[in-house]
């Protein structure tokens, strides 16, 4: 794969690149750039994880040396699964099984508990903390899904942003990947790198999927979101391992106003999941309703949807069928387990 093909594979379906020029230069310097994405293991995966799983595969296909970082200590600090480290690690093992079933078996999996065992790691955390104001650290706490104004924040949660930035340097990472909700952590790492003269990591962000209830609202920098699909809101999400009938029922009840694109979770599923995985989107309709229609480009679908030529129920049925197909390997792997 030549440089342009590698660039296209990495950049496609991205919401933000920090920066495009830096990532291109990285690809020009090495055929095996080190990339990573970090996850807090915190329960069952949702179909929103199909966005990150697809990008992990894109990065690997483009020649990146990809690490999937299972941030068990971070989840412990963030009180996921009741702060039970054993349950968190079990969730991390299940996450690995799901990603491997989806094709990410060739990437490296590492645990935060591996890094924290080394004194050098905590020296790095301290250095990051020394280069970060308390106010800056509190603002970065949005990466945990928490507000800096929460009255019950404990001191351990203030370690989190410095730890996430330190992870990038200790692994080490040249290209940090995550959803837009991880932007502040990656920007913090870049700022710290400039402060100390360390190698500056590039960053890649993919979109955030709205809750099925509708209406992800992003701030102007894209750093925080309300109403995103989350396993903590079962009514607004779909389990990755859900059977087809459960997927269909969830999608059938989803917010999906005709002609509306922004904040429409069904339209986002087409754009952010179906097209990246299947490269096309087909809707089966009765002949009296126009018959079968297929789109090979996202832009064609969005134009047709915006014009009102697609009925929401037809789109919902097609999305449910596509999600069932895409998630089938992960569902089968969980069943076998």
> CA-to-CA distance for 323 and 237, rounded, in angstroms?
13
pLDDT one-digit tens code per residue, 144-183: 666 666 666 788 888 999 999 999 999 999 999 999 999 9
Q: Residue 301: CB partners within 8 Å, gap ≥ 6?
A: 270, 271, 275, 281, 295, 310
Mutual angle of helices 49-61 and 312-336, in 10-degree steps: 70
The Cα-based distances of 79 to 27, 143, 225, 332 in angstroms read: 38, 14, 20, 30
pLDDT of residue 139: 85
pLDDT one-digit tens code per residue, 224-247: 445 676 655 657 899 999 999 999
In CATH terms, the superfamily for domain 3-207 is HUPs (3.40.50.620)
- Does the pLDDT value for residue 91 go beyond 50? yes
Higher pLDDT, 337 or 73: 73
The Cα-based distances of 268 to 159, 209, 211, 333 in angstroms read: 34, 7, 10, 26
DSSP 289-327: GT--EEESSHHHHHHHHHHT-S-HHHHHHHHHHHHHHHH
pLDDT of residue 146: 63
Which of 154-158, 189-193, 268-272 is predicted with the least confidence, judged by mean pLDDT?
154-158
Give me 80's structure tokens: 């996921």
In DSSP terms, 210 is beta-bridged to 228
CA proximity to 133, closest of 190, 75, 186, 191 = 191
Residue spans of the domains in the chain: they are 3-207, 234-336
- Does the pLDDT value for residue 123 go beyond 90? yes
Q: What SS3 class is residue 264?
A: coil
Q: Residue 141: CB partners within 8 Å, gap ≥ 6?
A: 147, 148, 153, 157, 158, 160, 161
- Give the pLDDT band of residue 112 (cuts 50, 70, 90): very high
Mean pLDDT of the chain: 91
Mean local confidence (pLDDT), 268-289: 94
Which of 211-220, 235-244, 253-262 is predicted with the least confidence, judged by mean pLDDT?
211-220
Mean local confidence (pLDDT), 55-61: 98
> CA-to-CA distance for 19 and 79, rounded, in angstroms?
33
Q: Does domain 234-336 have CATH number 1.20.1070.10?
A: no
Q: What SS3 class is residue 240?
A: coil
């Amino acid at each position: 794969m030549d440089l342009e093909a590698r660039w296209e594979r990495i950049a496609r379906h991205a919401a933000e690149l920090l920066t495009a020029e830096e990532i291109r230069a990285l690809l020009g310097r090495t055929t095996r750039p080190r990339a990573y994405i970090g996850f807090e293991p915190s329960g069952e995966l949702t179909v929103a994880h199909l966005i990150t799983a697809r990008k992990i595969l894109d990065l690997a296909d483009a020649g990146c040396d990809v690490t999937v970082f299972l941030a068990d200590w971070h989840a412990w600090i963030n009180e996921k699964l009741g702060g039970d480290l054993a349950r968190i690690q079990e969730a991390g093992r299940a996450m690995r099984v799901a990603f491997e079933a989806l094709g990410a078996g060739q990437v490296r999996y590492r645990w935060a508990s591996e890094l924290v065992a080394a004194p050098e790691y905590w020296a790095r955390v301290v250095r990051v903390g020394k280069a970060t104001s308390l106010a800056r650290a509190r603002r970065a706490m949005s990466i945990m899904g928490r507000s800096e104004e929460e009255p019950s924040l404990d001191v351990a949660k203030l370690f989190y942003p410095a730890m996430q930035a330190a992870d990038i340097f200790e692994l080490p990472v040249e290209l940090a990947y995550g959803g837009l909700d991880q932007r502040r952590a990656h920007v913090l790492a870049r700022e710290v790198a400039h402060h100390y003269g360390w190698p500056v990591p590039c960053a890649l962000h993919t979109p955030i999927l709205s809750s099925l209830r509708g209406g992800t609202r992003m701030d102007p920098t894209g750093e925080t979101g309300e109403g995103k699909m989350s396993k903590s809101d079962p009514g607004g999400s779909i389990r990755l391992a859900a059977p087809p009938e459960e997927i269909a029922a969830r999608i059938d009840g989803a917010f999906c106003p005709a002609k509306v694109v922004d904040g429409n979770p069904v339209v986002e599923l087409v754009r952010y999941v179906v097209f990246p995985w299947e490269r096309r989107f087909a809707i089966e309709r009765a002949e009296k309703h126009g018959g079968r229609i297929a789109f090979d480009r996202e832009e064609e679908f969005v134009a047709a949807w915006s014009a009102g030529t697609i009925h929401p129920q037809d789109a919902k049925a097609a999305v449910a069928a596509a999600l069932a197909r895409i998630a089938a390997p992960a569902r089968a792997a969980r069943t076998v387990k």
